[in-house]
Copies of this chain bind each other. A is one copy, B any other.
């Protein structure tokens, strides 16, 4: 079974759609129960199969919610094969105008969620061949003016994942890092940054490339992918 976080919108939603279109059972999770239910219904409609999507509400900033999410998953019949962690949020602007609460949300929604999720995954499945795909951003790879705190949390996630990889050296669990560049995902209008997204990839395009790249073989896998527009 495939778990997708952040599946209610953007890349997470497009990845979910890819999987149900190829008839793969998924579980989606999110904080907003109503949006989550709506997403599950619309995905089930695409697949014409009401059983293909399970929706489990969870606030990934709460370690207890994360534990309950995996209690639910472990109680289900199908073993977890893949996690695609797309949840996250953006916040932009020169550092001088950035706001306390928004910075706190940014840290919680990107760094704390990822630590909670990956810690629970390693605790439960480090002896299993589970693939954990962590979707970051090209902002994890370079510094950007006007994105200082966003780069901070994305660099944090990268440093965290690269370190956990070292701890998993002899484990069958695999961590895959994905760095998408500018996508047109509905993320920008609410991010506080004025960006012309007309030439950007759609989330569907990025999801298609991502899902294709995730196909692994017996002895190898794509460990890191940067997806650029253009």
B contact residues around A145 at 8 Å (CB)? 163, 166-167, 169
Copies of this protein, total: 4
Interchain nearest-CB distance for A223 vs B (Å): 4
Q: Which of A111, A140, A157, A219 has the most CB of B within 10 A?
A: A219
Cα-based distance from A96 to B118 in the complex (angstroms) = 9
> 26 A-B contacts, Cβ less than 8 Å apart?
A63-B100, A95-B115, A95-B118, A95-B167, A107-B111, A107-B112, A111-B156, A140-B159, A143-B162, A144-B166, A147-B163, A148-B159, A151-B159, A153-B156, A155-B160, A200-B219, A201-B217, A205-B218, A208-B217, A209-B215, A212-B212, A213-B213, A220-B230, A222-B225, A223-B228, A224-B224
Give chain A's interface residues, CB within 8 Å of chain B. 63, 94-96, 98, 100, 103-104, 107, 111-112, 115, 118-119, 122-123, 126, 140, 143-149, 151-160, 162-167, 169, 174, 179, 181, 183, 199-202, 205-206, 208-209, 212-213, 215-230
